[in-house]
Amino acid sequence: MLKDPSLAGLRVLVTAGGSGIGLVMARGFAEAGAKVFVCDIDAAALAQARAAVAGLNGCVADVADEASVEAMFAQVDAALGGLDVLVNNAGVAGPTALIADLRREDIVRTLDVNVVGQFLCAKHAVHRLRRARSPSILNMSSAAGHLGMPGRSAYSASKWAVIGLTKSLAIELGREGIRVNAVLPGAVDGPRIRAVIAAKAGVSGASVESVTQAYESQASLGRMVTAEDVANTVLFASSAAAASITGQALAVDGHTQALS
């Protein structure tokens, strides 16, 4: 993964860094010489991550709960002594269902984690980032943040909201030197997308194999992206090489033009 010298010594918080893309990003920052703190709602995943990445700090936290976010930042201060980069990675897939079948509680939970969680983490990060040498916020959106996605309306709505949050914060914080960008992964191969594919197959009546093929064919490259693809984009956007990049929606999706 990318090892830009400007990443060395950065103090980085990755939410939902216990597994999946978050863990790959945390490992990439650590290997580049950054000091990394991760949170995760899953204590077992967090323990495994800390065992897998040398020097990784972390705590259990629910980003949708402000008291939990405040407690997390107190631990970030103790472990890192400040913050240079916030990676707002925590998110849930949300329900897979047609609009008439959605439950209110599933919609609310999706928005709470995917949108409110990013608001809360940014809110508590800002006064720390104002004291940083190279401050930036990376908000994880999705290809579903600029495309419609049938059967995934709650998720897509939440990821469109992340783009609006990102562009608004980039304007709000730009004069203070704080850069804010969104990263929009396409379908990222791994357990999470495989669970979504299985759920979508169940809703549509199609086979898992045909839904998988549909996901792969959405991109011009004809394949899903990897967690390392996404991590490299986040590392670049946090580095000095991206010093003039802010307010952007950075797609890492193999040129996805439609979602099925």
CA distances to 14, 99, 231 from 36, in Å:
7, 40, 14
pLDDT of residue 50 exceeding 80, the answer is yes
Q: Is 180 found in the same domain as 158?
A: yes
Residue 203 has what pLDDT? 79
CATH number at residue 244: 3.40.50.720
Q: Is 66 found in the same domain as 22?
A: yes
Q: Is 137 found in the same domain as 217?
A: no
Residue 195 has what pLDDT? 87
Instruction: Give 166's pLDDT tier (boundaries 50, 70, 90).
Output: very high
pLDDT of residue 191 exceeding 90, the answer is no
Residue 43 has what pLDDT? 98
Residue 204 has what pLDDT? 83
Q: Is 154 found in the same domain as 230?
A: yes
**Rounded Cα–Cα distance for residues 212 and 146 (Å):** 21
Q: Is 58 found in the same domain as 18?
A: yes
**Rounded Cα–Cα distance for residues 36 and 27 (Å):** 9
Q: State the total domains in the chain.
A: 2
Global pTM value: 0.94
Report which DSSP code applies to 222: S
pLDDT more than 90, % of the chain: 87
Residue 256 has what pLDDT? 94
DSSP per position, 119-180: HHHHHHHHHHHTT-SS-EEEEE--GGGTS--TT-HHHHHHHHHHHHHHHHHHHHHGGGT-EE
- Number of helices and strands (H, E) in the chain? 9, 7
- Whether 151 is covered by a domain: the verdict is yes
* Domain housing 210: 187-224
Catalytic positions, please? 155
Residue 118 has what pLDDT? 98
Instruction: Give 242's pLDDT tier (boundaries 50, 70, 90).
Output: very high
